[in-house]
Amino acid sequence: RKPVRIAPSILAADFATLGAEVAAIDKAGADYIHVDIMDGHFVPNISFGPAVTKSLRSYTDKPFDCHLMISPVDPFIPEFVDAGADIITLHQEAGAHLHRSIQLVKSHGKKVGVSLNPATPASTLEHVMDEIDLVLVMSVNPGFGGQTFISSQLDKIRTLRAMIDETGRDIDLEVDGGINETTAPLVIEAGADLLVAGSAAFKGGPEQYAANINRILGRS
Ligand code: DX5
Ligand code: ZN
């Protein structure tokens, strides 16, 4: 098993000072920067887009883990490549041609992830496991930070852990939504190795970020 890493979601940061927030969460120990993109169509909320993402690129050297909650997604993939995304994760539910979207990300030389909403079964990824670099299990319905962890997703994480191990490939198993010091040990036990945390990572302001991250990862 790989060491468990953390991808703080800047959705929970102060949008008025996003550059400084990204620099602060980097310094506090973020492994990836989780960038939540919401379109008001696939999900019932709007966050920000590729221009804001690009403007943040110079504030950290950590990988940008871009979680695209947008439909259609294909027309925006080149824009997020240009914005400096390192990993582009799209939703299984966001379009009719998942395999094509995956190939589009790969054609730009970027890592590709696929995310599953809480009601979408793990088996929908069976025929793309050899193509992808990351699976993102949503443990809340996407659209908002600060929601409660849906514990039925633990079984799905276990199933995906087995599916990933069976490939023998290096595929991150990421979990997103309601992750805090209480739920993190549950998803880690189920097989997750990359944790997204929004509100739990950014609570209390920049002086608290390192302590927040250590607490979520069980280091304190
Ligand atoms: C939800 C987003 C999450 C969100 C997590 O749609 O994809 O990344 O920011 O926020 P918390 O950790 O507060 O549940
Ligand atoms: Zn997310």
pLDDT tens sequence across 82-106: 999 999 999 999 999 999 999 999 9
pLDDT digits (tens, 9 = 90+) for 193-217: 999 999 999 999 999 999 999 999 9
Is the pLDDT score of 112 beyond 90? yes
CA 164 to ligand 2 center in whole angstroms: 21
User: 166 C-alpha vs ligand 2 centroid, how far in Å?
Assistant: 26
Q: What is the pLDDT of residue 1?
A: 82
- Per the prediction, the chain carries an average pLDDT of 98
ipTM exceeding the 0.95 mark: yes
Smallest-distance ligand from the CA of 45: 1
* Residue 150 to residue 159: CA distance in whole angstroms: 16
Q: 116 alpha carbon to ligand 2 midpoint, in Å?
A: 11
At a CB cut-off of 8 Å and minimum separation 6, what does 2 contact?
172, 193
Please check if 95 is assigned to a binding site. no
Instruction: Please report, for the domain that includes residue 80, its CATH number.
Output: 3.20.20.70
Asked if residue 220 has pLDDT above 90, the reply is no
For 40: left if phi > 0, alpha if psi spans -120 to 50, otherwise beta; the answer is: left
Q: Which residues constitute the domain of residue 31?
A: 5-216
Mean pLDDT of 172-190: 98
Task: Output the pLDDT for position 139.
Answer: 99
9 annotated ligand-binding residue: yes
**Each residue's pLDDT tens digit, 5-48:** 999 999 999 999 999 999 999 999 999 999 999 999 999 999 99
Q: Report which of 172, 192, 149, 19 is spatially closest to residue 88, judged by C-alpha positions.
A: 172
At residue 23's C-alpha, the angle toward residues 17 and 33, to 5°, is 100
The count of domains in the chain is 1
Q: What is the pLDDT of residue 198?
A: 99
Burial (CB < 10 A; 0-12, 13-18, 19+), residue 168, is exposed
SS (H, E, C) the chain: CCCCEEEEEHHHCCHHHHHHHHHHHHHCCCCCEEEEEEECCCCCCECCCHHHHHHHHHHCCCCEEEEEECCCCHHHHHHHHHCCCCEEEEEHHHCCCHHHHHHHHHHCCCEEEEEECCCCCHHHHCCCCCCCCEEEEECCCCCCCCCCCCCCHHHHHHHHHHHHHHHCCCCEEEEECCCCCCCHHHHHHHCCCEEEECHHHHCCCHHHHHHHHHHHCCCC
36: annotated active-site residue: yes
Q: Do the annotations mark residue 36 as ligand-binding?
A: yes
The pTM of the full predicted model, rounded to 2 decimals, is: 0.98
Q: How far apart are the first and last CA of the chain?
A: 21
Biggest distance spanned by C-alpha atoms of the chain: 45
Please state the rounded mean pLDDT for residues 156-164.
98
Q: Is 176 a catalytic residue?
A: yes
Best residue among 18, 70, 199 to mutate for probing ligand 1's pocket (most ligand atoms within 8 Å of CB) is 199
Choosing from 34, 65, 176, 213 the residue with most ligand 1 atoms within 8 A of its CB, the one to mutate for a pocket test is: 176
